[in-house]
Amino acid sequence: MALRAVRGAVQLDVDEREHLLAATRELVTAVLEANRLSTDDLVNMVFTCTPDLTSEFPAVAARELGLGDVPLMCAVEVDVAGAMPRVVRLMALAQTPLERGEVQHVYLRGAVALRRDIAQ
């Protein structure tokens, strides 16, 4: 088993609590499924939000999915002029037999434009 970082992002339509939670649950679920990970495989998960997202912490959605015993952290993304708005990003550290090149990074909705080179 190796320790691997898995990235993901989703762009929201609006900054509304239920929309943010639903989109974050979708992202977390997609990252776990794409990499065949269980909550027991997770070491931690860090979320960032663009500064225009203030309706809720993305970690709430992860807890709703049963990740309550996984260390979770939220932060604000760097506010770069012209950056894509309304984006939740995540980076999960996980124990997995996958090789680095086999890790599937997940970019949903408009966030696909952030990393066309690695998005699935």
Q: Determine which one of 16, 33, 63, 64 is catalytic.
A: 63
Q: Is 64 a catalytic residue?
A: no
Q: Determine which one of 49, 56, 86, 89 is catalytic.
A: 89
Q: Is 77 a catalytic residue?
A: yes
Whole-angstrom distance between the N-terminal and C-terminal Cα of the chain? 23
Per-residue burial over 76-114, b if 16 or more Cβ lie within 10 Å, else e, is: ebeeeeeeeebbbbbbbbbebebeeeebbbbbbbbbeeb
Q: Determine which one of 4, 7, 56, 86 is catalytic.
A: 7
Q: Is 115 a catalytic residue?
A: yes
Q: Is 63 a catalytic residue?
A: yes
Q: Determine which one of 4, 49, 56, 77 is catalytic.
A: 77
Q: Is 107 a catalytic residue?
A: yes
Q: Determine which one of 25, 26, 109, 115 is catalytic.
A: 115
Q: Is 26 a catalytic residue?
A: no
Rounded CA gap, 89 and 73, in Å?
12
Catalytic residue ranges: 7, 63, 74, 77, 89, 107, 115
